[in-house]
Structure 1
Amino acid sequence: MIVRSRIKPKIKPLKHHKKSIIRTDSDPKIAYLTFDDGPNEYTEQILDVLKEYDAKATFFMLKPHILEHPYTAMRIVREGHAIGLHGVTHRAELFYASKESVIEEFNDTRNTLRAVTGKDTRLVRTPYGSIPHMRPSYFDEVERWGYLLWDWNVDSRDWKYRDYRSVRAVKRRVRKLRHRGRRPVILMHDRLETAELLRDIIEYLQEHDYRLDKLDETLKPIRLKTL
């Protein structure tokens, strides 16, 4: 079933929005699982695993997939996970054509997500990450509109490996961040292989006393250029 909204609420730049409260890493034993490109048929399996382990996560969603899987998008919200915007096309030549195209894709997805779930969000993630495509003027425009742009500091590489090597990649990077006292923000995707390997990743994190939480607007976003 496809949900379409005839009414598109007007979105304006949040010129005077409140600055996010930057939470310090006083408790580095928090990990953030993040999933891109959904929702799709595999998101339901991911949600089942998260529910089994009482874990929260953040889902950066694409407009066409929200329309194709509205009930999954609603389930994400209903079960207490965070929602974020990932754009419309997921095509670099279209998304990054200009600072206006970046904002248009985020706004369009935001309208759709709000129409389907009734929830709003300022959390965004650009396709393929912010490096190398995001220009300084693009970052400025994203900030002017009040969006909070998140990258990651742990890449599961599930988009490449599609097997247990993804779990090993997460473990290696998490170990390095643990020694530095930094919280891991783990990049994954709504894929069948990821759903099947997710238990191993969660159990590793929980065995090392990590609490699996969702991103929110009080956190300072991680950017690839700062890693």
Structure 2
Amino acid sequence: MTIKKEEVVCLGIVLKTQSYKESDALVTVYFKDYGKMTLIARGVKKLKSKNAAACQSLTLSEFTFIPRNGLSTLIKASSVDFYRYLKEDIELEAYASYFMEFVLRNEEENQPDLDVFNHLKEALDALNHGYPPQLVYLLYNAYILKRCGVALQVDGCVRCLRQNRIAGLSLEDGGFVCLDCLSLRDKQLDKETLKAFRYINKICFKQIDQLKISQESIDQLIEIMDYYVDEMTGILFKTKKMIKSLEKL
């Protein structure tokens, strides 16, 4: 990232806020133009702070600051979208926290990527607009795999590349398996679920309205995608425990 000496104004999503000294806070933000950065928000814990609301975790805000390697000092901030609907629903907040945890743990400081910002914002917007959270979760998990360089093979058999007679999924090889290549180690699925699996791994959030998937297929796909993410990315998500506990209620 090119470091500038003058003030900049940039849109960003607050990933985490933690206490720093008596009245200050460290605010980790993923910026649209600057990537992941941590700002010192001085006096933000004071009752009269004008920046407090905009610096809360899970908030889309506009920040004024001077970009630096390491810690940058916040000048001012104003909230653009507080995602109040997500913060008032423990289940939705858990899914949103999962998306933010991925960005927080996977992305390097000062390495901007507009695709990362857009996918995070679109996932949060989809939750906030009332789309089924499990569907949004599936789409974001597909993005996680792509971002980690382990996108799944859904255009043909992962073993022989044939595009017809697809019968299941290989949990070891990461993708479709045709009837001829299907083994006892693979997971055989019905046509509806296989079709849904392909869509999940091919479309973007802007096409979410095209997804018409039964709850039975969604439940199967969540189990499968969770397995792929756990085994193929090496990331142990703390927020996943909360999601799993809520699913059992």
TM-score, normalised by the number of residues in structure 2: 0.25
Q: Point out the structure with max Rg over C-alpha.
A: 2
Q: Please, what TM-score do these two structures have when normalized by structure 1?
A: 0.26
Q: Which has the higher contact order (CA 8 A, sep 6+)?
A: 1
**Bigger fraction of residues in strand:** 2
